[in-house]
Structure 1
């Protein structure tokens, strides 16, 4: 039987991984951060990196200005996460920015960021612009959690010292599961399954992750889901648009972070290639999630509106626009992709 190798560990990537390990070992003060609107890969990779730094007795700050979605609060370590207003300066600290496809999306005050020694970038977005002085960017990797897993396991191999246990393993598993859509998405590689098997063998709490992310929706969520699905709009049998307004969120007593599980419904309809989920976070702020099935590049549509992400999953933000204006702008551009 042919050996299944981790495609993320080419010679090119091993060089960058070793640079990161050497830098961490030779320095003492770090900030771990990620992108705005945190998701499972954002949080899981960040907490795993914090655990790695902790195991190496490094001083670190976990800094993220946006709050966790309710489905991911179970990963939270009380008092660990700081926000920019709690940190006066990052002088002497190196920032490890993970899962952030651009400098602009790093979820911290940029004036504060500029006081640091610089940025190590660890990411899997193909739109990434290499904004770090060390860049480990693999656009074909399933998740940033897989890249952090590669870093930690490379250190384990070099030093013959185990690092990943139940806590770090659970964080990495959460990010792997969410960014692969529970191993449904096209970014799922053989290495993803090997990583999952290894994490579970090391004590990752698989069932805890599944229950919290996929099996803990509130009755109010299902009520808003029903209203949203009842008003789905399907255009030319290829594009599906779903909308949740701020009025709907208030009506059902839900927060913006409670409705992300609706996103796949826009794509998972027979014949539909592109799903568009419009979420009115505030009256003057609208978030859009884009999902495609086979051939539409979501980043192309997102980039039209200064957004980004992955080929099959991207997003963008609109300000001072009505829901109807956003819907019309997106649909006009989306039709050009077919």
Structure 2
């Protein structure tokens, strides 16, 4: 969607703005939210990023926790927002237990890049061709004539890098790389950023990975791989579910595998499903069947059942495509 003056004028006269990243946050939703936080501060806005989830350990270097408050903290402030911005959330379910905050203000700006976005905002800045929400935020800041300093550039680079698999996924476009080049020219330490994002995994995550890979199952002549993250695995390895991002790639990267499925036991009878495809299969079609969404090669949904039943339900759904 083109960014006309309609969107730019949204920020005029707004004093209190809240930003809502999606649950189980990743680098794109956090990087984009932090970039917006810094940018709107330049416009002398009071900005609050509200999130109840823990951040993945590889994002700690952004010092994001100092900019994030919980819903409980926000309610204590007794502030009525003038504008609510959701970031990287294709539907309101992706906001989890913070969805009620949307009732605080009718002025909701939905910024997203998923083709399955339900356009739930009063204003919907949705571009499914963007590799990451970070691309959309970058263009927005350019239109707002907000100088992209090193802090903003770092956050946007994190958004782009993580949602493109360090610029190796097929969603990477010439525009993505041009934006990344501009961000590097702002003086960011991209070598340090890449080290923090991809080369500083806590030992507990490596131990968890061992357990997860031991759960590996191959189906349909090795074309589909399934792995699990159970609550018992998380407790055993003393690690939060927020640090399971990226594990699915180990299943997808197996020779002969076209589709990878990661089942995360979020709570009793609540299974978060991540889907990835390597070639042409559109996994968002499968996710939609269960009320989820996403992209052609990366999608997700929630199945309210046991982890074994969720696996069997998914296998029966995929079976139609492997006949």
Match of 2:158 in 1: 174
CA deviation after TM superposition for structure 1 residue 318, in Å: 2.9
CA deviation after TM superposition for structure 1 residue 104, in Å: 2.6
Give the direction of change, closer, same or farther, for the CA distance of 1:90–1:20 in structure 2 (3 Å limit): farther
CA RMSD of aligned residues (A): 1.8
Q: Deviations over 1:186-225 (max 9, x none)?
A: 1100001001110011022312321122111123322332
Match of 1:304 in 2: 289
In the alignment, the residues of structure 2 paired with residue 90 and residue 110 of structure 1 have an alpha-carbon distance, to the nearest angstrom, of 17
Q: Secondary structure at the match of 1:279?
A: strand
Match runs of 1:186-265 below 5 Å: 186-235=170-219, 236-265=221-250
Match of 2:30 in 1: 43
Match of 1:164 in 2: 148
Task: Indicate conservation of the 8 Å contact 1:246/1:283, yes or no.
Answer: no
Question: 263-272 or 215-224, which moves further after superposition?
Answer: 215-224
Give the direction of change, closer, same or farther, for the CA distance of 1:328–1:42 in structure 2 (3 Å limit): same
Q: Secondary structure at the match of 2:262?
A: strand
Task: Indicate conservation of the 8 Å contact 1:289/1:315, yes or no.
Answer: yes
Q: Which 4+ residue blocks in structure 1 deviate beyond 4 angstroms?
A: none
Give the direction of change, closer, same or farther, for the CA distance of 1:97–1:108 in structure 2 (3 Å limit): farther
Match of 1:75 in 2: 62
Task: Indicate conservation of the 8 Å contact 1:90/1:112, yes or no.
Answer: no
Match of 1:270 in 2: 255
Q: Secondary structure at the match of 1:48?
A: helix
TM-score (norm 1): 0.89
Match of 1:9 in 2: none
Question: 185-194 or 276-285, which moves further after superposition?
Answer: 276-285
Q: Specify every segment of 5 or more residues in structure 2 that has no aligned partner in the other structure, as ranges.
A: none
Task: Indicate conservation of the 8 Å contact 1:92/1:117, yes or no.
Answer: no
TM-score (norm 2): 0.93
In the alignment, the residues of structure 2 paired with residue 91 and residue 129 of structure 1 have an alpha-carbon distance, to the nearest angstrom, of 25
Question: 289-298 or 45-54, which moves further after superposition?
Answer: 289-298
2:109 paired with 1:125: no
Question: 174-183 or 104-113, which moves further after superposition?
Answer: 104-113
Match of 1:8 in 2: none
In the alignment, the residues of structure 1 paired with residue 296 and residue 79 of structure 2 have an alpha-carbon distance, to the nearest angstrom, of 34
CA deviation after TM superposition for structure 1 residue 78, in Å: 4.5
In the alignment, the residues of structure 2 paired with residue 154 and residue 311 of structure 1 have an alpha-carbon distance, to the nearest angstrom, of 29
Match of 2:167 in 1: 183
Q: Secondary structure at the match of 1:14?
A: coil
Give the direction of change, closer, same or farther, for the CA distance of 1:231–1:64 in structure 2 (3 Å limit): closer
2:76 paired with 1:85: no
In the alignment, the residues of structure 2 paired with residue 244 and residue 211 of structure 1 have an alpha-carbon distance, to the nearest angstrom, of 25
In the alignment, the residues of structure 1 paired with residue 82 and residue 96 of structure 2 have an alpha-carbon distance, to the nearest angstrom, of 16
In the alignment, the residues of structure 2 paired with residue 282 and residue 288 of structure 1 have an alpha-carbon distance, to the nearest angstrom, of 13
Q: Secondary structure at the match of 1:109?
A: helix
Task: Indicate conservation of the 8 Å contact 2:17/2:47, yes or no.
Answer: yes
Match of 1:32 in 2: 19
Q: Deviations over 1:6-43 (max 9, x none)?
A: xxxxxx5132xx32222213432211112111111110
Task: Indicate conservation of the 8 Å contact 2:225/2:252, yes or no.
Answer: yes
Question: 25-34 or 241-250, which moves further after superposition?
Answer: 25-34
Question: 76-85 or 179-188, which moves further after superposition?
Answer: 76-85
Q: Specify every segment of 5 or more residues in structure 1 that has no aligned partner in the other structure, as ranges.
A: 1-11, 157-161
Q: Deviations over 1:50-96 (max 9, x none)?
A: 11100111122211222212221222344321222222355342101
In the alignment, the residues of structure 2 paired with residue 113 and residue 86 of structure 1 have an alpha-carbon distance, to the nearest angstrom, of 17
The total of aligned residue pairs comes to: 319
